[in-house]
Structures are given as C-alpha cells and as structure tokens.
Homo-oligomer: A and B are copies of this chain.
Amino acid sequence: MAKSPKISASHEPGGLIVHISGLLPSLSPAEQRVARLVVADPADAARRTITDLATAAETSEATVIRFCRSVGMDGYPQLRIRLAAEAARRVEPPDARVVGGDIPPGADLAQIIATIAFNDARAVEETAEQLDPAVCEQVVDAIVNAGRIDVYGAGASGFVASDFQQKLHRIGRTAFYFPDVHTALTSAALLGRGDVAVGISHTGTTSDVVEVLEQARARGAATVALTNFPRSPITEVADFVLTTAARETTYRSGAMASRLAQLTVVDCLFVGVAARNRARAKKALEATAEAVQSHRVGSGRRRA
C-alpha cells in the first residue's frame, strides 16, 4: 500500500491553521484550493459538508479527503472539529489589523506598528505551539554531545545562524558560522560522525545552505534544518527538522516574522543546551558578561 504523505499534526493542539499554511506549498494544486478556503475562513469551512467544501474548491470530495490526510487528520469529520475548535479559540484581532496580510497603502504609522507587532508576536507564539519538543530534545542531545557544531545560513537567515553560533560559543561549545559559502563547504567537508550541522533557511530552498548541509550529512554529521516549510528541499537533507510558523505573506513582512520565529527557536535550543549543564553554562556566561563590562558606562542597571 502506498503510504500517503502525512505530516503529523498531533502534537500541536493549537496550530492547525498554521500547520496547514506551512504545508500549503507542498500540496497539489487541487488540495491547495481546499487549503486556501480552509485557512481563509476556518469557521466557515467547519460548517460546510465535505461535498459543499469540495464544490466551493472546485474539486471532488476525494481531493478533500486527500487534503485531510495530507495535513495529518484521519478524515473530514475530524478536520471539521479541529477547525471549529481552532476558529473558536482564535480571538479576532481587535481592529482591522491585516492578519498576515500586507500593510494597506494609506496606513499611518500607528497602524503599521500594530500590524507588524501583531504578526510578529503571533509568529513567535504559533511557532512555539507547533514546535515538537521531542525533536528539540534530540537536537539538544546532539549538540550537547557534539564534537563541533557548524551553523549555516545565508542572507537574513545568516544573522540567525551567526547568532546561534555566538550563543553556543558563549557557553563553551565549539561552534562555527561562515558567511561565505565556500568556506562553509570546506568546513562541512571536515565534519564527521558526532558533529552537528545546522542549516537555517526560511524558504528551505536556499541552494547554498542545502548544499552545505548535504555535504555535512554525507560526512556523517547529524543535520538539523530550521525552516518555515516542512517539505522544502532542505528537509530532505536533514535528520531533524524544526519548523517556524510565520504565516506566508508578502515577501518582506513574512521575512521579518520568520526571523523572529527562527530566533525564538534558536533561543529555545540554546537554553535547552545550557540547561544540561547549568553550572558550566552559568559560569561561561558570567565570564563573557564580565569581559564586556569595561565597555559599559554609568551604573549597570538604571531602571526607570
């Protein structure tokens, strides 16, 4: 029996919609039409019968069922119930904040601020909700026991990669980040069993990062992918996949929310690693903090 591509949604009590929008690009055209309807108005979808929804999406019931399975549900009734639950939980954003949408042309700055902050905060929360603690645990394990950790990322994700590297370094783990692809490839070639390679890419399609991760994997390193899209190319070269949950939006606003989500995930991993050896991590952190102390002016804390 052919196994249908089913990505578990069981461990995320709150993030079905997000989960679906993340998978959207990996669905077939007909399923995407269904997905879009569902994401656009979950409550409405929950009210519809399968035939009704199929008609609305201009497809057959069979496709709707396939869609259900693709997003990890057993069948249509289950989807319906989850959707209803989710729609209920979802507190409507107070005003006309364009949730995940673009900033309207005539918006004033106050509106812009509200919209951006709303989407950013949501991305962080929803990412946390759908993050699989079991996978994180495994990644933390790998990092804790790693001889060496390479973190890869290009462009915007490069900042995150660099941040992660710095964090790990500060608690005494041997971690590297390479702004340059060639250097990164060289480094990846030198990895081996027991080492860890982390690739960060919002879209999951950045060839540089995918290539480097592939190289690392070929050398026997454990590979970790951090991306917004659970079925993008990068996930195929990763042993562990961690996903962020920034809603797909326009190029720019999605990028920022995604960045914040990535940072949150990275921070979680960092704290997870640090928690494994509190004493040592604390000491390392204090030492590094002290090192920059002379570069502070005035009294350290000056709360208002």
B-binding residues in A (CB < 8 A)? 5, 7, 25-28, 43, 46-47, 49, 77, 80-82, 84-89, 91, 103, 105, 107-110, 112-114, 116-118, 120-122, 124-125, 127-129, 131, 133, 136-137, 140, 154-156, 159, 162-163, 166, 203-208, 210, 229-233, 235-236, 248, 251-253, 256, 259-260, 263-264, 267-268, 271-272, 274-275, 278, 285, 289, 292, 295-304
Contact = CB atoms under 8 A, between A and B. Distances in A.
Contacts of A251: 285, 289
A137 B163 CA distance: 30
Contact of A112 (B27, B105, B268): B268
Contacts of A229: 302-304
A84 B292 CA distance: 40
Contacts of A248: 303
A233 B298 contact: yes
Contact of A267 (B26, B116, B128, B272): B116
Nearest to A201: B296
Contacts of A210: 297
B131 A113 contact: yes
B5 A275 contact: no
Oligomer copy total:
2
A113 B133 contact: yes
A260 B252 CA distance: 16
A124 to B, nearest CB: 4
A124 B112 CA distance: 14
29 contacts: A5-B304, A26-B301, A27-B301, A43-B85, A46-B84, A84-B84, A85-B87, A86-B88, A89-B91, A103-B271, A109-B137, A109-B268, A110-B133, A112-B268, A113-B128, A116-B268, A117-B127, A117-B268, A120-B267, A154-B295, A159-B163, A205-B298, A205-B300, A206-B297, A231-B304, A232-B302, A233-B299, A252-B285, A256-B264
Contact of A207 (B108, B121, B205, B297): B297
Contact of A232 (B263, B285, B298): B298
Contacts of A231: 301-304
A295 B207 contact: yes
A140 B46 CA distance: 37
Nearest to A232: B302
Nearest to A171: B252
Contacts of A117: 124-125, 127-129, 264, 268
Given A26-B301, A85-B87, A118-B128, 12 more contacts: A25-B299, A25-B301, A26-B303, A46-B84, A80-B80, A84-B85, A88-B89, A103-B275, A159-B159, A206-B296, A207-B297, A251-B289
